[in-house]
Amino acid sequence: MTEKTEAAFSQNDAFLEEKAFKSRTVLLFGEINNILAFNIVKQLVALSDESSAPINFLLCSPGGHVESGDVIHDVIRFIEAPVNMIGSGWVGSAAVNVFLSVPKERRFCLANTRFLIHQPSGGIGGKATDIEIQAKEIILIRERIALLISNGTGQPLEKVREDIERDFWMPAKSAIDYGLVSRVITSQKDLT
């Protein structure tokens, strides 16, 4: 790629970011990590500071780092502007934690969205005592995730614990029945 082409792409990205900001839309696509979380939180804080009008949050993610998802979840609950959460493509793992950060009446998805809930996994390694500490932490995180899903969906905690033992996939209709989503939308007009 030439410097001229790179400059054109950079200009185009800045233009699109400005348009998204003006439309009060946050886009979270891809794996959730600390860098992505920082950028998302920055946008949320700036949008909430600018106005108390609703923010539309479009989410398509396989999940990622649990604590990075937690910071997005917590900041969405912390800011004053209400957030409309819109799932698209797939919303999995830690992305479900982000999705559940808003009240059920503000949780929407597009028709072809799929949801995935499951227990956390970790890259355990090191000395035996470190592995034991990490295993205990994963069990604590699993319980916290189960409680978050139970509270956010109205499902009994024991059912959620069973459901997250293995990958539990839900298309849009099943996610509505489960309590993850309030309704499927097909247009921005459906948000009003």
Catalytic residues: 93, 118
- The single residue listed with the structure tokens 């990590």 is 33
Say which DSSP state 5 is in: H
- Can you tell me whether residue 101 is helix, strand or coil? coil
Q: Which two tokens stand for residue 3?
A: 């410097």
Say which DSSP state 190 is in: G
Per 3-state DSSP, the chain is made up of helix, strand and coil in percentages (nearest 5) of 55, 20, 25
Question: Is residue 186 within 8 Å of residue 110, measured between CB atoms?
Answer: yes
Angle of CA points 28, 152, 22, to nearest 5°: 30
Q: Residues 6 or more apart from 170 whose CB is under 8 A from it?
A: 114, 115, 116, 117, 178, 180
Ordered DSSP codes for 58-90: EEEE--B-HHHHHHHHHHHHHSSS-EEEEEEEE
- The single residue listed with the structure tokens 């502007």 is 81
